[in-house]
A and B are shown apart, each in its own frame.
Chain A
Amino acid sequence: MIRIAACLVLLWLPATLTAQAETGYVTLATPDGGLSVEGRLISFDGEFFRVETEFGQVTLDAGNVVCAGQGCPDPDAMVARIAITGPPVLLRELVAPLMSGFAQRQGLVFEDTFLSDDHFQWSLKDRRSARVIAEIEALGPDQSAAMELPVELKVSRQEARAPWQSDVIALDALVAIVAPDNPIASIDTELLRRILTGQTVDPAKYEATPGQIHLPAPRLGLLQGLSRLGSLTSRSPQSAIAHGDLDALADDVASDPGALGLTLFSRIGNAVPLILSGPCGRGMPAMRSSIKAEDYPLTEHVFLHRLGARQPRVIRDFVAYVRSNEAQSIVRNTGFIDQAIGEITFAEQGERIAHSVLAAGEDDLALSEMRRMLRALATGARLTLTFRFRDGSSELDAQSRSNIRRLADAINDGAFDGQELLFAGFSDGQGERGANLGLSQRRARRVYEAITQIAGDAPVRFAVDAFGEALPMACDGVLWGRRVNRRVEVWAKADHR
């Protein structure tokens, strides 16, 4: 019997959540008898009862009700049964290692049974008693459609709508790739966009035109990401080969010196990623640090979606684990890009600083501004976490809003105790310099306020500064370049007060 009082939590679950009923009838009532629910018990995870009632499915907090009837579970015998779906590669290479790390952290044993290339069974067992805590069906999209299991977790490269709740668990990026023996090192993004969308390319304008083109199959949903380079037509080049398997795509590109492919950073294989360049000649390489900082324009996200209802405890614990620094170090070992906050030293940024000096105006004001900026930044290190804004506004984009929480958590965890954190605002080069300085100041201020609201009590010195268009990262002549340039960087340095 499970007792206790207080409020009754009723949650209606979507109709898709029809679990296999394997237990009998129960009556769940508040101890004072004020409310009772009868029905067939679907599951009990130690915290929540799920009951099929005449009104539909109901989830009840076990702390608030007493269970009566033959179907009442033995609290020690409960097993959370979960289905998770997604591309098998993500399940196998990202979720399974995270689950294994989670198990080690929790004193559990992770067991993996491989039934086919898109169907795995995982179980979590107590290390000491060998009692099964959770049984997890991990299914590729085809398997999941066939098995009709209630799916509560999804791993995906696409966002999901309510009632799903989402966490970004890893970063990735769209990259243009060529064979290692192809001499091309960079590609103009306008050329790339035209080639990949089947538009004509003026041979006089670009020195190299590629041979065979390899694209991800449209059903993988990756081509939309290219829209950040400019508008897309819906058609692909007729001669392009569409690949459902990105490893095969990379293998084909790597073995053909004339080929050009588009794939994900995590699936480059033996091919080589190209630097994306803009009309001003400034380019952005696809590297871990540039993707993490979203300086690279085609960053992609890997999401863990969970149903927006009460989850078995083990799922909630897993989701919490995935957010931890330890989980991010697992992500780093899997070939995906983690979100742990890293540092890029001033010395590592020599190239972009040289660029900015060369691009600076000739007047005294420009020179003194440059000196002011270098003085402010030279003793620090830039954090990989960067804040970016919607066009022409001081409104943070989606990823940057979650970065607020990530940075505030790190500050509250003491990661920057005794240091100074400088929020340095930058703008694109569109418009008048004074106005840009003001805009970048407002953006830096906005981030500072959001952070200090959550983490203002930490023993960290916060500072705000702005430098307008002084340190561009990409070309202002293209949309994606301006977006990359509009940013608030965070610099950490020793607090010498």
Chain B
Amino acid sequence: MNLFAALNWRRALMIVGTLLVAFASGHVMQSLAVNNTPLVNTGIAPDAAPLLRRAGEPPELPVPPAATLTPILQTPPSLRDRVTRDQPAPLLPRDEARLVPLGAPCRAELVTTAKPAGIIGLTISAPCWPSSPVHIRHSGLNITETLDAQGRLSIDLPALSPVARIEVAYPDNTFGHEVLELPEVEALYRVALSWEGTQILTLHALELGAAHGQRGHIYSAHRGTPARTVRGVGGFLTRLGDGTGSVAEIYTYPREDARSRGVVRLSAEAEVTSATCGRVAEASAIQTDALGGLQTSEVVLSMPDCEALGEIVLLKNLFRDLRLAGR
């Protein structure tokens, strides 16, 4: 999360820089112009003024994502997600020199598609960053993955919101954004647990009275499949992140269960091992709140001392159990 704050700040500076140049060149062109028709894009100018004024102040103005998103949304789809928007070529000439071996420019491409069960098919192609880490962010979820030797990545990300905003941070601190509509998400319960580094907490769902180890016990070792949810007969767990940074477990269950009524019990478990005893387990738990928004809970759990090796800390109250229709 801190990473993103830092990135936003850098980005803010970059925008300020861009606007400065735009302003300056505008002025020059304006004075050269025969008539006084302003050549500066007047759509930019009002935004530029406050940014310029704030430039000397201490870094408290990370540009809110929403503010930067708006103009991107208004551009035609073909121009959406242009990483280069954040990194204009004239400003950073060294990037012009960065070409992939075949001579194409260094450009990262983020493509998202809507898949069944409210899943975002997310593909990144960034040939200039083979085997490099990328950070994916969506509705409070953080996921770190590593691009393959060709700079590619393809993952299935369960959306937490019917209008899903996905943000990808590349190794050079540039970003890619996408906004994807997945109306199907309204018909799903979705909860998530994400953390950084070593996993201590695990997400468990006991569907409609299932006991531990039974078929309806869905967790990282028995994840179920999206097909269960599509058919309305159960849920599935998705685990994302390759372990080099942020990892997330996301559990999905259909709101309209085809079979029956009842509850899905949700819990987080933490085993006391030599690696976890006496430590503080930190994680973010995300669940829909009573008004339909997303509520993130920060977990700060003191693990028992090492004398309790082998015990399991069961957190029953972190997530609200899912009550199916009719209840």
Contacts and interface: CB of A to CB of B under 8 A. Distances in A.
Query: Do A and B share a complex?
Result: yes
A117 B317 contact: yes
Interface stretch (B22-30, B122-130, B163-171, B285-293): B285-293
Nearest to A333: B290
Choose among A111, A115, A270 the residue with the greatest number of B CB atoms under 10 Å from its CB: A270
Contacts of A88: 317
A114 B296 CA distance: 10
Contact of A330 (B265, B291, B297, B302): B291
Contact of B209 (A89, A113, A117, A251): A251
A251 B216 CA distance: 14
A110 B209 contact: no
B290 A101 contact: yes
A285 to B, nearest CB: 13
A247 to B, nearest CB: 7
A75 B290 CA distance: 33
B290 A114 contact: no
Contact of B318 (A98, A114, A180, A333): A114
B315 A100 contact: no
Contacts of A104: 291, 293
Contacts of B296: 112
Contact of B317 (A89, A97, A100): A89
B323 interface: yes
Contacts of A116: 301-302, 315
B98 interface: no
A335 interface: yes
B231 interface: no
B297 A112 contact: yes
Contacts of B263: 269-270
Choose among A88, A117, A247, A335 the residue with the greatest number of B CB atoms under 10 Å from its CB: A117
Given A100-B290, A255-B209, A180 B298 contact: no
A92 interface: yes
Contact of A110 (B295, B315, B321, B323): B295
B298 A112 contact: yes
A307 B272 CA distance: 40
Contacts of B323: 335
A113 B300 contact: yes
Contacts of A97: 289-291
Given A88-B317, A97-B290, A247-B265, A115 B209 contact: no
Interface string B293-327: 10111111110000000000011111011010001
B187 interface: no
A314 to B, nearest CB: 19
A144 to B, nearest CB: 15
Interface string A397-434: 00000000000000000000000000000000000000
Contacts of A334: 290, 320
Contacts, number: 78
A115 B315 CA distance: 10
Contacts of A247: 265, 316, 321
Nearest to A330: B290
A115 B300 contact: yes
B295 A100 contact: yes
A97 B289 CA distance: 7
B211 interface: yes
A104 B293 CA distance: 10
B293 to A, nearest CB: 8
B208 interface: yes
A114 B320 contact: no
A411 B36 CA distance: 65
A261 to B, nearest CB: 14
B262 interface: yes
Interface string B179-206: 0000000000000000000000000000
Nearest to B327: A335
B84 interface: no
Interface residues of B, number: 29
Contacts of A333: 290-291
A255 B211 contact: yes
Interface in B246-299: 260, 262-263, 265, 285, 289-291, 293, 295-299
A112 to B, nearest CB: 4
A114 to B, nearest CB: 5
Choose among B317, B318, B323 the residue with the greatest number of A CB atoms under 10 Å from its CB: B317
B110 to A, nearest CB: 29
A146 to B, nearest CB: 14
A298 interface: no
B194 to A, nearest CB: 14
A381 interface: no
Given A114-B315, A247-B316, A270-B263, A101 B300 contact: no
A97 B318 CA distance: 13
Interface in A308-354: 330, 333-335
Given A101-B291, A117-B315, A269 B262 contact: yes
A392 B244 CA distance: 73
Choose among A93, A114, A333 the residue with the greatest number of B CB atoms under 10 Å from its CB: A114
Contacts of A89: 317
B300 A93 contact: no
A254 interface: yes
Contact of A114 (B291, B293, B299, B321): B299
Contacts of B301: 114-116
Contacts of B209: 251, 254-255, 269-270
A270 B321 CA distance: 11
A93 B262 CA distance: 17
A312 B295 CA distance: 25
Contacts of B211: 255
Interface of B: 208-209, 211, 260, 262-263, 265, 285, 289-291, 293, 295-302, 314-318, 320-321, 323, 327
19 contacts: A89-B317, A92-B317, A100-B289, A101-B289, A112-B295, A112-B298, A114-B297, A114-B300, A114-B318, A116-B315, A117-B316, A117-B318, A247-B316, A251-B209, A269-B262, A269-B263, A270-B262, A330-B290, A334-B320
Given A98-B290, A116-B302, A255-B209, 18 more contacts: A89-B317, A97-B289, A97-B291, A100-B289, A100-B290, A113-B299, A114-B298, A114-B300, A115-B301, A115-B302, A247-B265, A251-B209, A269-B209, A269-B265, A330-B290, A334-B290, A334-B320, A335-B323
Interface of A: 88-89, 92-93, 97-98, 100-101, 104, 110-118, 180, 247, 251, 254-255, 268-270, 330, 333-335
Query: What are the nearest 7 A-B pairs in CB distance?
Result: A97-B290, A270-B209, A270-B262, A330-B290, A112-B297, A333-B290, A92-B317
